[in-house]
Chain A
Amino acid sequence: MSEAWAKLRQQPWIWSFIAMIAVWLATIAFTRGQGSGEILTAALSFATFTIIIGLGQMMVITTGPGNVDLSIPATITLAGVVAMKIMDTDNARLLIGIAAALGVSFLVGLFNYGLIRLLRIPPIIATLSSSFLILSTAISYGRGIRIKPPPMLADFATATLLGVPLLAFLVLALSIIIALILKRTSYGRTVLAIGQNPRAARFAGLNVDLARFATYMLSALLAGLCGIVLSGFSGGAALNMGEGFLLASIAVVVIGGTSVAGGRANVPGVWGAALFTYLLDTMLNIFGANAGIRLIMTGLIIIAVITIAGGDRQQR
């Protein structure tokens, strides 16, 4: 038992799960058990969106210091707007809409990487700049009009299976695939290697450029995917639909134990952290404290979790 625990506590993701469970227990203690299951269901359905983009952001952050994709929120918006406008509430146009939305996400990824590689703009600023352009594209294309998703998409996005959102299962599958890619493919190893030492990665014969390209593409495509399903889930695309996801995408990655300095990624941690941040928000809402206190508590709890977890990490 104690040995299992000793092994478990070495895992960087364990702390986000412990935090999540602690927050959940505190919440249901407050409500005297009322709604304990429903809260978890809600957490799962909302956390999936954060997890989708978190996985992309995780890959980007893993490629090393300075790498972060700030264009995710704008890409979510653009993909959502494009999908909804092309689908135009018509089930028959579902696939074209998805293809178009993923197509523009592809272009976003290409553009981001072009800025980073060809113009050698530091990723953080390249993606910030491109996010402005992407948002403008969404504004000028969508005109701020909110179109409902086709019923099939809406049903799919809100469907549940055995009380668990269908999307959560799919995102679980996606997570397993990404974890496998990271551990067991040369692309994944290359990403981890670049994050530790890009020069050494080049000399070890790894294809550094291709891996970085693929990573920014992956992040953009996952953001696009999130845009599509989120529009389906929440009844349409809006220009501000991505706003909450900027800090969230970074937060779930780093709270989940992925190294900010690159070279170490953690898929289960993204789940733990996404659920934790959602439940934390819910807990503070349910406690009914005023906004200032809620914000302070949010910050302090994040710092507390990372502090408890941090001592066991080898590197920052």
Chain B
Amino acid sequence: DTKDKKIALSNNYAGNSWRQSMLKSWDKVTKQAVADGVVAAADPFTTSENQVTEQAAQIQNLILQGYNAIVINAASPDALNGVVKQACDAGITVVSFDGIVTEPCAWRIAVDFKKMGAVQLDYLADKMKDGGNLLEIRGLAGVFVDDAIHKGIEEGVAKHPQFKVVGSVHGDWAQEVAQKAVAGILPSLPEVKAVVTQGGDGYGAAQAFKAAGRPTPLIIMGNRQDELAWWKEQKDANGYETMSVSIAPGVSTLAFWVAQMVLDGKQVPKDLVVPFLRINQADLEKSLETTEKGGVANVEYSKEDAEKVVAGK
């Protein structure tokens, strides 16, 4: 029974549509849970900048506030370990998701980012038997997620040696930055067959190719509505084919349920893996319909869904 337990969400960034979606999903699902009397409170907290020290201070304050569980999307996998340990020592359940923490006392709802990179190459190998040149758009240098997806892509290239990464830029997960970097490197590149991404930069890349007057290559999308809409436009016009892959922002709600279950005394394994959300050519229309205009394709978890994930089904 968790009806007088309080859960907090510790978030470190709110400046993009994915995070906004994540907060919205959290809001929707937890408001209902509070109304239903499942938990007493489920408050979201956001720091102004994507910074370890601010988030650490925030978590310490959450400890002081007396929350029973803290759900964390961490700014860094290791650097919050100190404060996570403090929370655990204070008897607080810590559940991390998306940006997970490595401190053993916490629960981890991990996304296999490496695989997210690798599947892009598998898809391409299937589509383009002859292989070809690739352009890679990376995220922010020095951040764990960027490194993991990049490693996945590297592995993929090693597995499918018919592909070659001829250019790589850092888009810092911001469309404007990505577009700028791609536009700059593009004139120097030979023909590019496909663009592999970390999610969300597809539209910007397409714009840059268009502006440079180059044929549009196969661009892996990142589940944003504007990307899907563009894809649909191209598909209708010339049968354009690609795939789209990213994490559903609603994974925050899974973390919420996991925290609730742990508080409820249920046995939950420390490490859970959620599948990323992949949209194939065939699912495009359906996904586009269910995605809010300007938002991100999403999946929210109900308690039953969460129990299924925990049970490993």
Which residues on A are within 8 Å of B, measured CB to CB? 27, 30-31, 34-39, 42-43, 45-46, 132, 135, 139, 143-148, 158, 230, 234-236, 238-241, 243-244, 278-279, 281-282, 285-286, 288, 291-292, 294-295
For the complex, give the distance between the alpha carbons of A244 and B171 in Å: 10
Q: Decide: A145 and B292 in contact? CB cutoff 8 A.
A: yes
Q: For residue A281, which residues in chain B have a CB less than 8 angstroms away from its CB? A: 180-181, 184
Is B91 located at the chain interface by the 8 A CB criterion? no
Q: Decide: B17 and A239 in contact? CB cutoff 8 A.
A: yes
24 A-B pairs within 8 Å (CB atoms) are namely A31-B188, A35-B187, A35-B188, A37-B187, A38-B186, A42-B187, A42-B211, A132-B48, A143-B20, A143-B24, A145-B292, A158-B207, A234-B176, A234-B179, A234-B204, A234-B207, A235-B207, A236-B226, A241-B175, A243-B15, A243-B177, A281-B184, A286-B185, A286-B188
For the complex, give the distance between the alpha carbons of A27 and B224 in Å: 34
Q: For residue B173, which residues in chain A have a CB less than 8 angstroms away from its CB? A: 240
Q: Decide: A139 and B141 in contact? CB cutoff 8 A.
A: no
Is B232 located at the chain interface by the 8 A CB criterion? no
Top-8 shortest CB links A-B: A35-B187, A144-B20, A145-B294, A282-B184, A291-B141, A38-B187, A31-B188, A42-B183
Tell which of A135, A145, A158, A241 has the most Cβ of chain B within 10 Å.
Answer: A145
For the complex, give the distance between the alpha carbons of A291 and B143 in Å: 11
User: A239-B20, A285-B169 are known contacts. Are A139 and B183 too (CB-CB below 8 A)?
Assistant: no
Closest-CB distance, A76 to chain B (whole angstroms) = 9
Q: For residue B212, which residues in chain A have a CB less than 8 angstroms away from its CB? A: 38, 42
Q: Decide: B17 and A291 in contact? CB cutoff 8 A.
A: no
Closest-CB distance, B219 to chain A (whole angstroms) = 14
Number of interface residues of B (CB under 8 A): 44
Partner among A147, A235, A288 whose Cβ is within 8 Å of the Cβ of B204: A235
Q: For residue B295, which residues in chain A have a CB less than 8 angstroms away from its CB? A: 144-146
Is B172 located at the chain interface by the 8 A CB criterion? yes
User: A239-B20, A243-B174 are known contacts. Are A46 and B207 too (CB-CB below 8 A)?
Assistant: no
Q: Decide: B16 and A240 in contact? CB cutoff 8 A.
A: yes
Q: Decide: A285 and B167 in contact? CB cutoff 8 A.
A: yes
Which residues on B are within 8 Å of A, measured CB to CB? 14-17, 19-21, 24, 48, 138, 141-142, 167-170, 172-177, 179-181, 183-189, 203-204, 207, 211-212, 224-226, 292-295
Q: For residue A288, which residues in chain B have a CB less than 8 angstroms away from its CB? A: 167-168
For the complex, give the distance between the alpha carbons of A43 and B19 in Å: 31
Q: For residue B14, which residues in chain A have a CB less than 8 angstroms away from its CB? A: 139, 144, 239
Q: Decide: A39 and B184 in contact? CB cutoff 8 A.
A: yes
Q: Decide: B17 and A238 in contact? CB cutoff 8 A.
A: yes
Q: Decide: A146 and B224 in contact? CB cutoff 8 A.
A: yes
Q: Decide: B211 and A46 in contact? CB cutoff 8 A.
A: no
For the complex, give the distance between the alpha carbons of A132 and B19 in Å: 17
Closest-CB distance, A75 to chain B (whole angstroms) = 15
For the complex, give the distance between the alpha carbons of A27 and B226 in Å: 33
Closest-CB distance, A36 to chain B (whole angstroms) = 8
Q: Decide: B226 and A291 in contact? CB cutoff 8 A.
A: no
Partner among B15, B20, B183, B294 whose Cβ is within 8 Å of the Cβ of A147: B294
What would 20 more interface pairs be, CB under 8 Å, given A139-B20, A144-B19, A235-B226? A31-B188, A36-B187, A37-B187, A42-B183, A42-B212, A45-B211, A148-B226, A230-B176, A234-B204, A238-B16, A238-B17, A239-B15, A240-B173, A240-B174, A243-B172, A243-B174, A243-B177, A281-B184, A285-B168, A285-B181
